[in-house]
Amino acid sequence: MKRRTLVLTCLAGLLVFLGVLALYLPASWFGGMLPPQVRCAELGGSIWNGECIGLEYQGSKLGDATWNLAVGKAITGHLNGDVDVRGTAVSAHADVDLAFNGSGELRNLGARFPLDPAFVAQFPRDQRGVIVADLKRVVLSGGPALPALQGTIELRDFRQVGARPLELGSYQLTFDGSAQSNGLVVGQLRDLGGPFAVTGTVTLEAPGSYLVQGFITGRTATAERLVREITLGAQPDPSGRSEFSFEGSL
């Protein structure tokens, strides 16, 4: 009986130890498991409630990241909680509800960062601006497809720099959260003021390609001359609008 009691006591102690270890697993233990494009100067806290000091992604310095995840949800195969990033050039926050395979949702995603090659080397070298995202819901499939988006993305104070500096205005892209039967995500594009009046759509396709099409009108003589260059001299419609279309990949 005493031996059995001792064994049960040891098992109970081991379970308590494992439970405490699971609750307070140091985030630093998992630094070597980060993707190669992600770096942290210092990892602190636990894997459930921790911080990454000096976060970098593909060489871009983002700032410091913190996260708070529910342990109970992780047991069911989900990451549920919130993530926050704060830096000199970027700020971002999102509530996450993701399965371990990457499918799920991001909610209340807010972000602000500069359109500047000094921040992300892949950005155009002769253009500047500020990108502001306010997305209530982002549905992820666990793959390249993006089933649905709800919210807005704005490009503010867009401008060309260099030998021919030019103010290009501000623009907003609105997604209504609906899912298309063909798997495409379509957002409504409009200007928020500036030298160009723009209306149109942006269609997102997997994996990472997009199509922008719509109508543009110059609000000044200089802007209208630029419209004629962009549209290769095509004549505007009776209302003065010129049709445009271009595509690319992210």
**Domain boundaries defined on the chain:** 28-100, 106-250
Please give the average per-residue pLDDT across 177-202, as a whole number: 90
pLDDT at residue 132 in the model: 97
pLDDT at residue 141 in the model: 83
pLDDT at residue 26 in the model: 58
- Sign, CA dihedral 77-20-84-121, equals negative
Q: Has residue 6 got a pLDDT over 70? A: no
The pLDDT confidence band at residue 29, using thresholds 50, 70 and 90, is: low
pLDDT at residue 101 in the model: 86
pLDDT at residue 69 in the model: 87
pLDDT at residue 131 in the model: 96
Lowest-pLDDT range, 46-50, 71-75, 94-98, 208-212? 71-75
Lowest-pLDDT range, 17-21, 94-98, 130-134? 17-21
pLDDT at residue 78 in the model: 82
Please give the average per-residue pLDDT across 106-135, as a whole number: 93
Rounded to two decimals, the pTM is: 0.83
